Structure 1
Amino acid sequence: MKVVTVDELKKLIRNNEEDKIDEIDVVTTATCGIMSGTSGIFHLNFNTLFRRAKKIFFNDIEGVVGVCPNEYLGRVDCIFFGEVGFLFKDIVKGKDIDVKVITDEGKEIEEIFNIEKFETAKMIGTRFAFKNYLAFTSNKETATIFHRFKLKIGEASFSGCGEINPLENMIIKDKNDVVGLRGLLNGAECLVLGFGTRSSLEKPNLMISANMKDMDSYYLGGFLTSGGIEIYNTVALPVDVRKHREALKKLDKDIPLPLVNLFGREIIDYGKYSDVWENVDLRPKIYIEKCKNCNICKAEESCPTNAIKKENNKIIITEDCFGCGVCGYVCEVFKIRLGEICGLKITCRQSDRKRALKLAKELKKRIIKGELSI
């Protein structure tokens, strides 16, 4: 069986070698971006017995107790969602998590847990891997989850990995076509449960589940926005060439990117994913000679993923960098090309092709080695 990554395939097509697609069996596709519909389901076994948990907190972030009562067992089932991006990254990293339970009798119980101590730690995405998404602008300056800062008039942000996105490379005729697909979610083997919420044949997304204990923390994390903390995830799925040959031929220039008004999502105009993914930078460049040694480093303070560190007059960009472009927005030390859409400059990018392509490569390796059956 011949397996290639999606970027390897797209290079063949750009080189007018698309006839070689018939020599390929499977293409590993991927996407990475803000995926708000992310939840974690946990089961914990405390050292103290109590009747029933009423409230639960991980590092002071409140979850939802349920669904099993676990009466008089000192055990809790719970669900966490919402502003959990940095929390889930810490859990997957194996960091200690301060867990506090308030029982229905008013007792407060506190213990330290980590990923190994959680008896169950599973992620379920209710709306993952959208078949690309939208570019946003606004007719007034406003706080939004689609930008690190308030989105200003004349600016735009966008999401979607374009031609490498799994669903963009599939022909889906029925919502059940995706049920049972296996791939990788944040480095862990995952199962596609079916269509996600707000999904349709024209604009599908996926409901996916995977074990957080098997995940790699590089592929997920928190993303600060002016509308709150979001979470990004990375999904890689294999695509059968025999079933999806024509869809696999699409390039960024063939995929529309609607520009919408943040308020109501009214379509203003259409661009293409080539506008925002061709001739751009996946990561910023540093021009240290331009650093003014500010008392407070604006780039460090503003970075949505806390990836920029300034130590001993040295600027370091860690692997937590998402390539969003915010550092270049606030400081001339950083330069990154993000492209533009319908004449508007992109000032915040909420998808990361670098992570996506890395996971597509990892999926290819596991399929070839026989470590993941498809």
Structure 2
Amino acid sequence: MCNTIQETTPVTPLDPSDARCNAVKYAILAPSPHNTQPWRVAFQGDERIILSIDHSRLIPGCDPLGRQAFISVGAFLENLDLAAKNSGLRADIDLFPAGWPDSRLVQDTPVARVDLVEDPHIEPDPLFLQIPLRHTSRRRFEKRKVPLDAAGEITAAYDFSLVPLGFSHDDDLIHAIADLAADAMEIELADPERFRETLQYFRFTDAEAHTAQDGFGHAQSGYGPVMRFFIGRFILPRSKAASSPESFSRMAKRSTREQAASAGGIGWLSTKGDHRVDQVRTGRAFQRVHLKACALGLALHPMSQLLADYPGMAGLRSVLRDLLGVPDTQAVQMLFRMGYARPVLPTPRRRPGDFFFP
């Protein structure tokens, strides 16, 4: 039994005959804050996967409690489960095998122990087909409301009882949230550490994205290659953003307001508690929400700044809670806009072998 990272005994991680390699290949396509991809993987024996958080890829300024990182772990596990089912395997997932974790610390112990077991009763889930098609879209969406029927179909795609979905396409709410989101972006980038983290993972050019294989940039906002070249080289290159943070902040605030105001609907996920298990469950639910939205032809974009856990965001979080009508007894874990838009390029991804640790 594995309780700590040190007890793992990895096997050759990219053996094509090992079903776990195929499952991990799809799992790493999950979303994560700033597309940091903060996952570490090891294999044990013939069936077991040990999943941990890569501390070197945390963003403690923007995500001081690691809540968003644990949500990304849930999304990773959902993809892993879907990929296993598609191969006729059952994923037996044991969360926090070393014991109940501290909800305010990111400990150096496994987040999940997963055994992939052959099971003749397992059937593929159609959402598996959406994994390589799901991308976060930072485009401005078309002026078209997301129908309530679509929200109903999305709700039916996951266990609503543990992580309820809220949805509205009310214009007044959308514009109020757009103003809040813009203010939240300004607050986030006003802090030097948070600004540094954002700049660290923002890809100003295609060359940066290709080299780093993580982060996000102008490509996810729908800009074509020529416009991306001019923005990244002349209008707002990395050197100008680093030396003039206010220029980058103004651009980000303006883009955030325009993006949010173009939403065809606003969705949110909440939980009764705010423990690590709740956050992992949220990640699994959110991934299914996004995959189902993708299957319905909907674009989706998380708006994480408004839910940030640092003190400077507490006031806006309170206003948001009132706008959404979420009681104080629940934690809003995810906020996102949905709508209709042309596809965007996927965020860059590291190679599967980069996630394995010795």
Structures share a fold, TM > 0.5? no
Bigger relative CO (Cα 8 Å, ≥ 6 apart): 2
TM-score with structure 2 setting the length? 0.29
Q: Larger radius of gyration, structure 1 or 2?
A: 1
Relative to total residues, which structure has the larger strand share, 1 or 2? 1
Higher helix proportion? 2
